[in-house]
Structure 1
Amino acid sequence: MYMNYYIYILFFPMMLISNFMIFLSNTWVTNWMIMEINLISFIMMMIFDKNLKNELLMNYFLLQTFNSYIFLFSSLLMNYMNMMFFFIFLMNLAMLTKLGIPPFYVWYLKIMMNLNWLNLLFMSTIQKIIPMFIFMMLISFNSKNLFFFNVLMILFFMFIISILGLNQINMKLILAYSSMIQISWMMMLSYLNELIFLNYFIIYFIISMNLILMFNKMNFLNLNQFSILKFNNKFIYIFMMMLLLSLSSIPPMFGFLMKWISIDLMSKKLLFLMILMMIFNSLVSMFFYIRIMFYSLMLNFYSMKMNFKFLNFKNYMNNNFLMNWLMFVMLMIYEIF
């Protein structure tokens, strides 16, 4: 147990410094070196994660290393051959894989589901900084083909991810699916305004940090465990509900403010189809978090033995699909009006 704390004390500053170093780098090779330092520091913290199997750890290491070498190979050959767009495209794919963006997301779900809460926080927030920075460097090449590829792929696969995440009850998987949707917003903002992107990321990090640390404290692993009776202090429960509302972009929370600003930027660029698709993804992400509050109240009523004729709590898992879609319809009505 104490060894775990020593490992975090030693390697967390290294991981943090590597994320700041990337902002001072101006060459591709330096970016690659910083990525490797960051990878080593994070893997050292993952090694002492009792929840993570060695097989998954090795898969993560091989995947990250493979994409790092694709990035290095492409950056070295980009200026020596008349195939610049091809190598930029390879670098772009490598960064999308590191971010866990669909269709390169299967590894991300497997790793997130088996991490402890602290490493899950790092994976969903801090470990996104370097790939996102390099992704923004690739944007500076002003390639229209790359822009259309990224936009179409993100919008299409985010729609699929939104549907796949509807019926999840594992809290870590819910956060993983929501993280992919939030990253899609950040990637769109990186094309529009870097300052708004930075503000969006900071707000997302603060909300996620508080929420995940509270989940860790209460030991919530799935929706069945999420009951209001687990909170001795009702203020903590209310604070958690406010965090969920903010992350689900309910007005007047900070999460809604950032989505509002993002949609305003897209409307000025006349990206109306993109706005429609992103609102739908946000709507489903909103459903993820409101469903947590919904289950919390329902489980609380169940523990108090309140018997409603229209709900059968003994078989409420069989009614899971029906409740999900009822909540989804309610959220659609909210978004429209």
Structure 2
Amino acid sequence: MFNNSWKMLFIFMLMMGTIITISSNSWLGAWMGLEINLLSFIPLMSDNNLMSTEASLKYFLTQALASSILLFSFILMMINQNYEIYINNSEANLTNLMLFSSLLLKVGGAPFHFWFPNIIEGLSWMNSFILMTWQKIAPFMLMTYTISNSLIIICSILSVMFGALGGLNQSFLRKLMAYSSINHLGWMISSLMLNQNIWMVYFLFYSFLSFNMTFMFNLWKIFHINKMFSTFTYSKSLKFMLMFNLLSLGGLPPFMGFIPKWVIINMLSVDNQFFIVFILISFTLITLYFYLRICYSGLMLNYYEPLWINQFLTNKLQMTLFLLSSSISLLGLPFISLIYMML
């Protein structure tokens, strides 16, 4: 990706579109930034094969629908507020519902999640990582201007529910990561009720853990569960590193992925939102179950391994980067706890 000048240009425009949306003080400027972001990401999705072309077309149609609803909703807001198009915290009316729904469609949250796994299935791992992380920043920042607790509760519960149940029957890793992203999306939506800073912390942790997984899958070109552990028969340490990264992404203590969930659980408990905490934890346990099911074969002593061993030639710099990021992911919670005790 970073070897082509035109890809670097579109990546720069992609970032600029997000920055324009975040820094805009009007809905029209935010919509313009979203459109720049959309039109910059579509050329990056097309990798001259049929699946990526189909995925880019589906992504364009879905985002165009969401953008048209967003444009229509803030035009209605402008009419109702005497042509004031500056961003304000509006009440939970029909316009606010349309606006929040269009942003939810852009990030792929339930009940508008239908396009997300199908599009990720046709993308490369690096494009999937951009779609799961960077493309969520601008819509989430706009969601903070249209906060309605009833909408947030319903959407967060539906997201963790569909994300957990949808990943149970998946054997393709890209779809599995997509449903996992929808599940994490439910936690991020629920954090909007608390504080924008908590959402930023959760998003940074999730982006770091997703980078670990997508970087490893892209490095060894793994797209299916059956290929995952047979790839690492020559290195038991890499196999266990992969399993521990999966468990960290699922939020199992004492790994680093448990930290943002812990923060949200504590904050929701302080606000007496025990029902939401129960729903979030219950469906996250289902997500953790299909992560453990993947790791089950690698942990068993009688797991089938071929007699021949395929050695993969990898870049030493890439391996060093992966081992460093994985070490931070695995040892993050004890390290942060130690720092907290020292302060």
Q: Where on the TM-score scale, by shorter chain, does this alignment land: which range?
A: 0.7 to 0.9
Aligned to 2:262: 260
Per-residue CA shift, 1:23-77, capped at 9, x if unaligned?
A: 3111100000000000011001012353635344222212211211211121122
Q: Which moved more, 1:64-73 or 1:6-15?
A: 6-15
Does 1:128 pair with 2:136? yes
- What TM-score, normalized to structure 1? 0.81
Aligned to 2:207: 205
Shift of 1:3: 10
Shift of 1:288: 2.8
Q: Which moved more, 1:150-159 or 1:245-254?
A: 150-159
Does 1:13 pair with 2:12? yes
Question: Is the CA contact (8 Å cut-off) linking 2:54 and 2:122 kept in structure 1?
Answer: no
Does 1:110 pair with 2:141? no
Aligned to 1:238: 240
Following the alignment from structure 2 to structure 1, what is the Cα–Cα distance between the partners of residues 69 and 158?
A: 25
Does 1:100 pair with 2:108? yes
Q: Structure 1 vs Structure 2: percent identity of aligned residues?
A: 31
Aligned to 2:325: none
> Letter of the aligned partner of 1:251 in structure 2?
P
- What TM-score, normalized to structure 2? 0.80
Following the alignment from structure 1 to structure 2, what is the Cα–Cα distance between the partners of residues 207 and 300?
A: 29
Aligned to 1:32: 31
Does 1:151 pair with 2:153? yes
Does 1:88 pair with 2:96? yes
Shift of 1:283: 0.8
Shift of 1:121: 0.4
Aligned to 1:326: none
Aligned to 1:214: 216
Aligned length: 298
Following the alignment from structure 1 to structure 2, what is the Cα–Cα distance between the partners of residues 172 and 74?
A: 33
Q: Which moved more, 1:73-82 or 1:212-221?
A: 73-82
- Whichever structure has more helix as a proportion of its residues is 1
Question: Is the CA contact (8 Å cut-off) linking 1:4 and 1:48 kept in structure 2?
Answer: no
Task: Report the CA distance shift for 1:3/1:204 in structure 2 as closer, same or farther (over 3 A).
Answer: closer
Shift of 1:215: 0.6
Following the alignment from structure 1 to structure 2, what is the Cα–Cα distance between the partners of residues 132 and 151?
A: 15
Question: Is the CA contact (8 Å cut-off) linking 1:224 and 1:299 kept in structure 2?
Answer: no
Q: How does 1:1-337 map to 2 (within 5 A)?
A: 5-48=4-47, 50=49, 52-81=51-80, 85-139=93-147, 146-156=148-158, 158-227=160-229, 230=232, 232-298=234-300, 301-303=303-305
Q: Which moved more, 1:146-155 or 1:202-211?
A: 146-155
Question: Is the CA contact (8 Å cut-off) linking 2:17 and 2:35 kept in structure 1?
Answer: no
Question: Is the CA contact (8 Å cut-off) linking 1:228 and 1:297 kept in structure 2?
Answer: no
> Letter of the aligned partner of 2:112 in structure 1?
F
Task: Report the CA distance shift for 1:175/1:118 in structure 2 as closer, same or farther (over 3 A).
Answer: same
Following the alignment from structure 1 to structure 2, what is the Cα–Cα distance between the partners of residues 126 and 157?
A: 19
Give 5+ residue unaligned stretches, structure 2. 82-89, 308-343
Following the alignment from structure 1 to structure 2, what is the Cα–Cα distance between the partners of residues 8 and 231?
A: 35
